[in-house]
Amino acid sequence: MYTICVAALKGGVGKTTTATNIAYLLSKSNRVLFADADCQGDSSKVFGAYSASFGGMAKLMQNGISVSDDITVDDYCRTPKSGSLTVLPANEWLQKTNAELMLVVCV
């Protein structure tokens, strides 16, 4: 198993385009979990996994997963047309969740 992270401090440098293209190409011959961590959810939109009401990454961050839970990461994911690509989608709720978690950590 490999982990690939596409990140940059500056905006508008092609992170979404690069990450979605890498995930798509790798999914042609491998199983891929694409974790969208951008509250705009543009990568989720590219793969057709975006929903303003679906929890995805925000719900996963709020609830977490423990070994004793019957919940898995798959419960927070969506599988687009390609069966070997699974997307952990993000939306605007991710920004609110991030702020709430920062308050918990800072208090």
Q: Which domain holds residue 36?
A: 16-106
- Residue 4 in any domain: the answer is no
pLDDT at 71: 75
CA angle 26, 85, 98 (to 5 degrees): 105
Residue 3 lies in a domain: no
Instruction: Evaluate whether residue 5 is within a structural domain.
Output: no
- Among residues 80, 78, 90, 86, the alpha carbon closest in space to that of 52 is found at 90
Evaluate whether residue 11 is within a structural domain: no
| Residue 47 resides in a domain | yes
Instruction: Specify the length of the chain in residues.
Output: 107
- Position 107 confidence tier, pLDDT thresholds 50, 70, 90: low
pLDDT tens, residue by residue, 45-97: 999 998 888 888 888 888 876 656 777 778 888 887 767 999 999 998 888 88
Instruction: Provide the CATH number for the domain around residue 39.
Output: 3.40.50.300
Note the pLDDT tens digit of each residue in 21-32: 999 999 999 999
Total of domains in the chain: 1
The verdict on residue 58 lying in a domain is: yes
| Cα distance between residue 26 and residue 39, in whole Å | 24
Output the CA–CA distances (angstroms, integers) from residue 3 to 39, 63, 77, 101, 106, in the order listed.
21, 23, 17, 25, 29
